[in-house]
Amino acid sequence: MTHHYLTCRRLLGGALLCALAACSQLPPPATHSAAAALPAAPAAPAIGPQLRIDSAQSLIAVTVRRGGVLARLGHDHVVASHQITGTVSPAQNRADVQFRLDEMKIDEAGLRRIAGLEKQPSADAIEGTRHNMLTKVLDADRYPVVSIHAERAAKGQPLQVSITLHGITLTMAVPVELREENGNINIRGTFTLKQTDFGLTPFSVMGGAMAVQDQMELRFDLTAR
């Protein structure tokens, strides 16, 4: 009886192993070439020539205005970058530019006049503004570079501009004036931003009695050659 039981058990176990082996068998390899079944990769689109930003002929200027109940005791300011680098790809309708916060100039007399700001701050006031801007607002040691990426779907349409500042990227449509001459491109425009949109806290003292307004106006005039 025991011998019969063991024999049945061995037969059952063998059948189970055979069944498992049959289930685990892989299908035979394909006889045709896998590479032949894949479509040919499309040719890379032509990028066309790239133009470089001419820093000597380019400017990004930001106007920030005073606020608070004691605003009359403070100053409005113009902060500008003349050290702009980057490229423009006309064939792709796109541009990428960058500038460093610690290279920006504060309250240049000519730019203040263009912005309609009459009273020129003292050298000490300008240096104080620079220190507060870089250390207390922008955290320039941690986020030293501002990056701007711009694309345009079709001629005459606004640029889709993505600005990365303080580790945050904000995208918006910006109307521009664009001129092309002798292979060079000039792009001009003005738009407004809010500091808080980039996680920045506008500078203030005395509990906000003297403060910088959240909204700021950005003007750009970029030439690429």
Encode pLDDT of 137-182 as tens digits.
999 999 999 999 999 988 888 999 999 999 999 999 999 999 999 9
Q: Residue 222: what pLDDT?
A: 98
Instruction: Find the mean pLDDT for residues 51-75.
Output: 95
Burial class (CB in 10 A: 0-12, 13-18, 19+), 95: buried
DSSP 152: -
In a domain, 29, yes or no: no
pTM above 0.85, yes or no: no
In a domain, 112, yes or no: yes
In a 13 Å sphere around the CA of 205, the CA atoms on its Cβ side amount to 9
Instruction: Find the mean pLDDT for residues 112-132.
Output: 94
Instruction: Find the mean pLDDT for residues 90-102.
Output: 96
In a domain, 158, yes or no: no
Query: Percent helix, strand, coil in the chain (nearest 5)?
Result: 30, 40, 30
Among 40-54, 83-97, 185-199, whose mean pLDDT is lowest? Answer: 40-54
pLDDT score of 20 more than 90: no
First to last CA, the chain: 99
List, in order, residues 6 or more apart from 103 with CB less than 8 Å away. Answer: 81, 82, 83
Percent of the chain with pLDDT over 70: 79
Q: Residue 43: what pLDDT?
A: 54
Which secondary-structure segment (H or E) carries 102? Answer: none
Q: Which residue has the higher pLDDT, 110 or 28?
A: 110
In a domain, 35, yes or no: no
- Domain containing 112: what range? 56-90+103-140+178-224
- Count up the domains in the chain and report the number: 1
Given pLDDT bands bounded at 50, 70 and 90, which one contains residue 73? confident
- Provide the 3-class DSSP secondary structure of residue 80: strand
pLDDT tens readout for residues 190-207:
999 999 999 999 999 999
Q: Residue 198: what pLDDT?
A: 98
pLDDT score of 57 more than 80: yes
pLDDT score of 13 more than 70: no
Instruction: Find the mean pLDDT for residues 33-44.
Output: 51
Q: Residue 41: what pLDDT?
A: 57
Q: 190 φ, ψ to 5°?
A: -140, 140
In a domain, 204, yes or no: yes
